[in-house]
Amino acid sequence: AVDGLTLNFYEGQITSFLGHNGAGKTTTMSILTGLFPPTSGTAFILGKDIRFELSNIRQNLGVCPQHNVLFDFSVSTLLLLLLFSCSLCQPEQCLLCLSGGMQRKLSVALAFVGGSKVVILDEPTAGVDPYSRRGIWELLLKYRQGRTIILSTHHMDEADILGDRIAIISHGKLCCVGSSLFLKNQLGTGYYLTLVKKDVDSSLSSYVSAISNLITKHVPEARLVEDIGHELTYVLP
């Protein structure tokens, strides 16, 4: 559920929605796309109220839902119907015969067709391999100009790389919003450096001390916060 969420999205920017499972990310996107009606309050997309002008809003709205929604015909037929060409897939393949990752890439591409001014992407990189994930990132960064892109994700690195602004929500409420640098400066505790020991032995304590001295020599404010089992963890400012 969403509880009194107030948030602005801007043209030419990617806003990353970050939150745990059940935080309200998908519910918010479902309300914006008209899948669920709001029980109270409203939202405006391109100056139009979602309660009364949804049909007009959808003419400029592209959506990639959390689960792929593809029809049972060939890729080439789909692309011909949409007057859109791409090199994501073999054109004569049946859509439902594509791998899950390829279906996901195609779903993301479809959200951008037709000159969509507002693009809503619900976990667009879910289920894709790291190489394909990078390809989707490049697509979003390339085509964000002139569009308002709203992206939900569980991955902090994805939110950091793609998001001009990051909105963190929990239990349907907005916790904080701002650029990655702003949030790190205001809320961050620093960077974590984790080292893995080959062996766990009490005689290694002298080596731990030597490592700590080496790190503090280069980063004076660094401090050891954990020495448990095989791992040493330092916090760097």
**Per-residue pLDDT tens digits for 47-75:** 999 999 999 999 999 999 888 776 555 55
Calpha distance 69→107 (Å, rounded): 7
pLDDT, position 193: 87
Query: How is the chain classified by DSSP, letter by letter?
Result: ---S------TTEEEEEE--TTSSHHHHHHHHHTSS--SS---EETTEETTT-HHHHGGGEEEE-SS----SSBHHHHHHHTT---SSS-TTSBGGGS-HHHHHHHHHHHTTGGG-SEEEEESTTTT--HHHHHHHHHHHHHS-TT-EEEEEES-HHHHHHH-SEEEEEETTEEEEEE-HHHHHHHH---EEEEEE-SS--GGGHHHHHHHHHHHHHHSTT-EEEEEETTEEEEEE-
pLDDT, position 204: 64
pLDDT, position 109: 83
pLDDT, position 186: 85
pLDDT, position 94: 62
Answering whether pTM is above 0.85, one says no
pLDDT, position 156: 83
Low-confidence residues of the chain, pLDDT below 70?
70-96, 200-204
**Domain ranges for the chain:** 13-187, 191-236
Specify the CATH architecture of the domain 13-187.
Answer: 3-Layer(aba) Sandwich (3.40)
Calpha distance 50→58 (Å, rounded): 10
Phi, psi of 155 (to 5 degrees): -95, 120
